[in-house]
Amino acid sequence: MEFAALSLGLLFMIGAAAIALLVFSADVAVNKLTGLAGYFRLSTTFMGVTVVSLATSIPEIAAHLTASVGILAGTVDYRIGSAVVLGANIGSDVIQQTLIMAIVVLIAGGLYFRRYFLAKTMIPMIVTTIMCIILGWDRVYSRWDGLILFGSFIAYLYYLYIDERAHYKAEENGFTREGETPKGVPQSRREAIRDAAFAVFALGVTVVSAMVALQITEVVVVRTGIGGSLIGVMTLGVASAMPELTTAISGIRKGDAGIPLGTLIGSNITNPLVAIGGGALVSTYWVPGPLVVWDLPWETLTGAILWTYLWFNKGKVGKLGAVYLIVLYFSYITLRALFFSVD
């Protein structure tokens, strides 16, 4: 479909529909993949940090791969496409660390992080962001940079898996000694194959939705002159974070904090390493200035503030901490729009 000839109003409507479909299809994939993780006997925290965070990052990953293939094919502008997906990626991470974490805390009435969890997940999260700053300082994510990022994810995943096998307890996943299986977990190999097929189909819908949203965003950038990375941060970034929000809230309602904690922190590791790393491996990216002088440093700062607060507060974050996180998010987005609106 040719979007360049459409009015801005119609473009916004189609773009909003594409983003809504992207979030919905990603949510379907998340639910099926979560059940499959339970089928293979993985703890909820491990599921959150790895399987679910990877699944909820499908919008970011799909957008990056779609943009990268488009850049190689010449159908997506190199600079605009790079700016949009990188902005969406970093914007999604910041909103997860601050606003979404705050919402989850307010709904739960408070959350508790074990210091072991903080050391195993939040420190790698902060290190990941610093890596993105260093590798992107020359304003390009090369294929070597992509290999470093993606390779780091594989190494981290292997470490988590070895640690999981050493400490896994089936009871923590909802399985009982009587053999009862938690809701949503396949009861047989046939059901597991069926759920896997649903997940693959949902992933396909997500990719198509991401392609449409990306093409529309590119047209809007050209017409309005607004920086592609700012649009990515303020629209696609927010929409891409919705699967993490819905998954985290679902976990809280079920009385399991492992999923929300693991998902919100794990996604901030998965997004840069897999989405940016994988996309850079395909096509390389141009890195807009605001990302390396504002977005990524701010993400590093918010992650460090959250880690410090939790460490010295014995892993507890309550309603006051949630207010701090909300203030951090709106400070970030306001200053971004005022001083870094152009790439």
Query: Would you state the structure tokens that stand for residue 17, as one six-digit string?
Result: 């529909």
Low-confidence ranges of the chain (pLDDT < 70): 1-2, 4-5, 26, 30, 42-45, 47-48, 166-183, 207, 210-211, 214, 217-218, 221-222, 224-261, 341-343
Strand partners, 286: 140
Position 250 scores a pLDDT of 60
- Convert the pLDDT of each residue in 200-258 to its tens digit: 888 777 767 766 776 776 677 667 665 555 655 555 555 656 666 666 666 666 555 55
**pTM for the full model?**
0.73
Position 258 scores a pLDDT of 59
Position 43 scores a pLDDT of 67
Position 152 scores a pLDDT of 95
Position 148 scores a pLDDT of 96
Distances (CA, A) of 31 to 121, 177, 244: 23, 25, 12
Task: Report the distance separating Cα 262 and Cα 256, nearest Å.
Answer: 11
- Convert the pLDDT of each residue in 92-114 to its tens digit: 788 888 888 888 888 877 777 77
Task: Report the distance separating Cα 294 and Cα 241, nearest Å.
Answer: 20
Task: Report the distance separating Cα 326 and Cα 139, nearest Å.
Answer: 30
Contact residues for 253 (Cβ-Cβ < 8 A; gap 6+): none
The percent helix, strand, coil of the chain (3-state, each to 5) is: 80, 0, 15
Position 247 scores a pLDDT of 62
Strand partners, 141: 285
Position 284 scores a pLDDT of 93
- In the chain, what are the domains? 8-168+185-339 (1.20.1420.30)
Distances (CA, A) of 72 to 26, 69, 282: 25, 5, 8
Position 31 scores a pLDDT of 74
